């Protein structure tokens, strides 16, 4: 597929604005993960409390993605995204000025940080509506590469916390967020062919379609694995291998960056060979890598390698899922992005909270990792079961323009 054809197909300034918004929102969404070691030490948290601390923003973001998806269809993606950014900026300002002094307060902060995670349901439709079916994987992959924000959070925030104190990190995060909001308002533009707002009955009718549930499940594994590990790995590397907060952040950043940077690649590969084929490979490999790392390799470098490989597969899988969703639900892309994104967040909440839970009751992370690897196998089996029907029904209509 020619590069020029993609550049001419949509609106590049909006695509960039969607990426920038998504990138910084994701950086904020997972802040409690990279800061987890320092916060846990300061507030004297148990393993289960650590798990809930990093999992709460993920669950909140999952639920709020549905709200954001509905808002996108009612007032269009640009305005919905702007509202979300202002709420996040206000939240960080309050946390910075008032401070966080207890476990309950950190959970409340996590709930509000979930608004940043809901950016998914605004940024992706903002970009998607500008591009035709044959470019959906690439466009959604580029916008979705804002996942790299999680890598920046893991790389930078532990060092900032050491230098300035972890509470001040919330104020420092405002430095990129405010100019990014201005850039977003200047560059982003709603697509001229945005679908008309739907009634509440029409929103609910999407859930009557079994394909909607399949996409929700598939994304709960790919994105759930990605964001769950992104939030949990700083604490994992600190607890399992005794790395200090900064080093654990560096190791986590390597894993997250690997999974983030390949999301556009996953979308482009899915455009070329079809999302089903791409996902089949990704689920298979991710299950192997996650199951293997559950046995806690003696070398931290071995664990790092396995987590990076798993994140590569999950990141490419994220791009592949969203090569398929706009083809199947183009008219309902706003609400479907919210629903599928919610499912991804729930998967991440499960993984992050279960790792803390199993660590506390068994003394090991193994059970949590093995169960998630099993979910990848179940997703693979489900994909094998639906691919023939997809290719002979709704997929057949796109054979001349896009592959499934």
Give the start-end residues of each E strand in 217-296: none
Residue 330 domain-assigned (yes or no): yes
Residue at token pair 């455009």: 271
Residue 403 domain-assigned (yes or no): no
Residue 117 domain-assigned (yes or no): yes
* Alpha-carbon gap, residue 296 to 285, rounded angstroms: 18
* Alpha-carbon gap, residue 5 to 49, rounded angstroms: 50
pLDDT for 128 equals 81
**pLDDT exceeds 90 at position 71:** no
Residue 201 domain-assigned (yes or no): no
Categorize the per-residue pLDDT at 1 as very low, low, confident or very high, splitting at 50, 70 and 90.
Answer: very low
Residue 197 domain-assigned (yes or no): no
How many domains are there within the chain?
1
**pLDDT exceeds 50 at position 400:** no
pLDDT digit string, tens, across residues 97-132: 999 999 999 999 999 999 999 998 898 889 888 887
13-31 burial string, b = 16+ CB within 10 Å, else e?
Answer: ebbbbbbbbbbbbbbbbbb
Residue 199 domain-assigned (yes or no): no
> How open is the CA angle 214-262-224, to the nearest 5 degrees?
40
CATH number of the domain that 112 lies in? 1.20.1250.20
Q: What are the tokens at 356? A: 């803390």
Categorize the per-residue pLDDT at 134 as very low, low, confident or very high, splitting at 50, 70 and 90.
Answer: confident
Q: What are the tokens at 119? A: 């950016």
Q: What are the tokens at 267? A: 């979308």
Residue 139 domain-assigned (yes or no): yes
Nearest one of 66, 28, 379 to 225, comparing CA atoms: 379
pLDDT digit string, tens, across residues 215-238: 999 999 999 999 999 999 999 999
pLDDT for 397 equals 60
**pLDDT exceeds 60 at position 263:** yes
pLDDT for 402 equals 61
Residue 144 domain-assigned (yes or no): yes
- Give the residue numbers spanning the domain of 269: 12-190+208-398
Nearest one of 143, 114, 163 to 348, comparing CA atoms: 114
Q: Which run of H or of E encompasses 171?
A: helix 166-172
Residues 126 and 71 sit within 8 Å (Cβ to Cβ): no
């Amino acid at each position: 597929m020619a590069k020029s054809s993609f550049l001419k197909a949509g609106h590049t300034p909006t695509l960039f604005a969607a990426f920038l918004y998504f990138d910084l929102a994701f950086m904020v969404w997972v802040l409690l993960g990279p800061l987890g070691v320092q916060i846990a030490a300061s507030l004297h948290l148990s393993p289960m409390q650590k798990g809930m601390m990093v999992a709460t923003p993920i669950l909140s973001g999952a639920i709020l993605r549905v709200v954001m998806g509905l808002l996108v269809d009612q007032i269009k993606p640009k305005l919905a995204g702007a509202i979300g950014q202002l709420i996040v900026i206000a939240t960080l300002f309050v946390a910075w000025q008032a401070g966080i002094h207890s476990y309950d307060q950190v959970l409340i902060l996590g709930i509000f940080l979930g608004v940043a995670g809901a950016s998914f349901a605004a940024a992706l439709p903002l970009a998607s509506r500008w591009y035709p079916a044959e470019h959906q994987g690439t466009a959604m992959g580029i916008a979705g590469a804002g996942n790299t924000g999680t890598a920046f959070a893991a790389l930078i925030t532990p060092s900032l916390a050491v230098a300035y104190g972890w509470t001040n990190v919330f104020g420092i995060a405002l430095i990129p967020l405010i100019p990014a909001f201005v850039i977003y308002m200047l560059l982003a533009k709603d697509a001229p062919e945005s679908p008309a707002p739907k009634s509440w009955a029409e929103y609910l009718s999407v859930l009557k379609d079994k394909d909607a549930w399949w996409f929700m499940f598939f994304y709960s594994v790919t994105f759930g694995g990605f964001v769950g590990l992104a939030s949990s790995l700083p604490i994992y590397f600190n607890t399992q291998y005794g790395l200090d907060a900064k080093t654990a952040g560096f190791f986590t950043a390597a894993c997250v960056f690997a999974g983030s940077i390949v999301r556009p690649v996953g979308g482009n590969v899915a455009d070329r060979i079809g999302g089903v084929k791409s996902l089949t490979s990704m689920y298979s490999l991710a299950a192997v890598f996650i199951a293997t790392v559950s046995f806690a390799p003696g070398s931290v470098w071995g664990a790092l390698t396995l987590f990076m490989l798993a994140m590569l597969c999950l990141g490419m899988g994220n791009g592949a899922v969203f090569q398929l969703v706009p083809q199947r639900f183009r008219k309902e892309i706003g609400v479907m992005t919210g629903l599928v994104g919610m499912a991804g967040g729930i998967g991440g909440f499960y993984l992050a909270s279960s790792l803390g839970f199993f660590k506390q009751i068994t003394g090991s992370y193994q059970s949590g990792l093995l169960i998630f690897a099993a979910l990848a196998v179940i997703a693979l089996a489900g994909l094998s079961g639906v691919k023939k029907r997809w290719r002979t029904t709704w997929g057949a209509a796109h054979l001349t323009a896009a592959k499934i």
